[in-house]
């Protein structure tokens, strides 16, 4: 089944201690959509400006991403720039220029309104809600976010959390949202806000899922060299939902395997700048890492 992805479609300028790369293809929707495309057909909702390079549109198309819902508007593409410290877990946003996102109202093409698997990737929660309102009968809705929205759009974000099946956030966001250091207590509090499934991302240490059948502690794929982790969280959730949409049977039965597919997909994202590595792999490469992860956790 196909996956509908809404989120940011961006140009990213990324600085690490070793290199600097301007105006790469980025944005939460780009990372998530390309990750999901290895497993299921993807429809992407977003907006770019007329400065958006044609070769990036070609990259989406190479991954068979349906661009009917991508607006190309007058103005500049959303531009984000960030800088990593030597410890790549620490990142600083240098600038965020909203450009065409400033006036973006996503109108879903009729063909998109029947989508069953919905990924609300990181973007203003009001936009996530605007998309969700247009979906007729979703089967599984998963949302991601970032600290910015906890700081400036908490009421809207709480509405998103209440309406989704699964909510994904990282450990520092979970702490900020719940005021709890302890992950189990934080998970309990987030469940009380609505979602049946909560997934807390812990970067290179993997993730933890809490759902109706208890906890699942998932590893990240161990990497010797991380070049640029930008978009790893988006790739994780994209790979996860893309895989889930490709499976038969209940969500409950397939979600753990889906998380491992998300972990494996995200590992490739970290191995080069932006989407450089991810756009060179195949589903077989991801499946190979899934098999390696399976061996690493069996006991």
Binding site for ligand AMP (CB under 6 A): 8, 10, 12, 26-28, 80, 96, 122-123, 148, 230-234
Helix orientation angle between 232-245 and 251-269, rounded to the nearest 10 degrees: 140
Shorter beta-carbon distance to ligand AMP: residue 97 or 188: 97
Shorter beta-carbon distance to ligand AMP: residue 177 or 251: 177
Shorter beta-carbon distance to ligand AMP: residue 1 or 158: 158
All residues at 6 or more sequence positions from 92 whose CB lies less than 8 Å from its CB, including other chains: 82, 83, 84, 85
Shorter beta-carbon distance to ligand AMP: residue 21 or 254: 21
DSSP state of 137: S
Cα–Cα distance list, 15 to 26, 96, 97, 211 (Å): 14, 14, 17, 37
Please work out, in degrees rounded to the nearest 5, the angle formed at the alpha carbon of residue 261 by the alpha carbons of 286 and 173. 125
Give the nearest distance from C-beta 238 to ligand AMP in angstroms. Answer: 10
Give the nearest distance from C-beta 75 to ligand AMP in angstroms. Answer: 16
Give the nearest distance from C-beta 48 to ligand AMP in angstroms. Answer: 12
280: phi then psi, degrees, rounded to nearest 5: -110, 0
Q: How far apart are CA 98 and CA 167, in angstroms?
A: 25
Shorter beta-carbon distance to ligand AMP: residue 34 or 245: 34
Give the nearest distance from C-beta 96 to ligand AMP in angstroms. Answer: 5
Give the nearest distance from C-beta 29 to ligand AMP in angstroms. Answer: 8
CB count in 10 Å sphere of residue 112: 22
Q: How far apart are CA 74 and CA 153, in angstroms?
A: 27
Shorter beta-carbon distance to ligand AMP: residue 96 or 287: 96
**Which stretches of 179-250 are DSSP H helices?**
183-192, 232-245
Give the nearest distance from C-beta 236 to ligand AMP in angstroms. Answer: 8
Strand partners, 73: 49
């Amino acid at each position: 089944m196909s996956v509908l992805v809404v989120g940011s479609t961006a140009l990213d300028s990324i600085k690490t201690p070793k290199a600097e790369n301007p105006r790469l293809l980025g944005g939460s929707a780009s990372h998530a959509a390309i990750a999901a495309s290895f497993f299921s057909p993807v429809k992407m909702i977003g907006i770019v400006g007329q400065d958006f390079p044609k070769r990036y549109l070609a990259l989406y198309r190479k991954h068979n991403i349906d661009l009917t819902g991508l607006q190309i508007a007058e103005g500049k593409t959303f531009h984000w720039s960030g800088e990593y410290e030597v410890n790549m877990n620490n990142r600083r946003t240098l600038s965020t220029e909203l450009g065409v996102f400033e006036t973006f109202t996503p109108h879903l093409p009729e063909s998109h309104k029947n989508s069953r698997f919905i990924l609300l990737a990181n973007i203003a929660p009001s936009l996530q809600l605007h998309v969700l309102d247009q979906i007729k009968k979703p089967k599984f809705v998963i949302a991601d976010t970032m600290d910015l929205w906890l700081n400036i759009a908490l009421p809207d974000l709480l509405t998103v959390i209440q309406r989704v099946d699964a909510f994904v956030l990282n450990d520092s966001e979970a702490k900020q949202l719940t005021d709890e250091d302890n992950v189990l207590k934080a998970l309990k509090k987030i469940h009380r806000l609505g979602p049946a499934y909560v997934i807390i991302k812990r970067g290179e240490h993997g993730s933890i899922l809490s759902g109706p059948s208890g906890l699942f502690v998932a590893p990240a794929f161990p990497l010797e060299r991380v070049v640029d982790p930008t978009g790893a969280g988006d790739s994780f959730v994209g790979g996860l939902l893309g895989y889930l949409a490709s499976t038969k049977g209940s969500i409950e039965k397939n979600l753990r395997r889906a998380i491992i597919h998300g972990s494996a997909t995200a590992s490739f994202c970290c191995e080069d700048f932006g989407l450089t590595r991810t756009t060179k792999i195949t589903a077989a490469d991801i499946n190979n890492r899934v098999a390696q992860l399976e061996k690493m956790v069996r006991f």
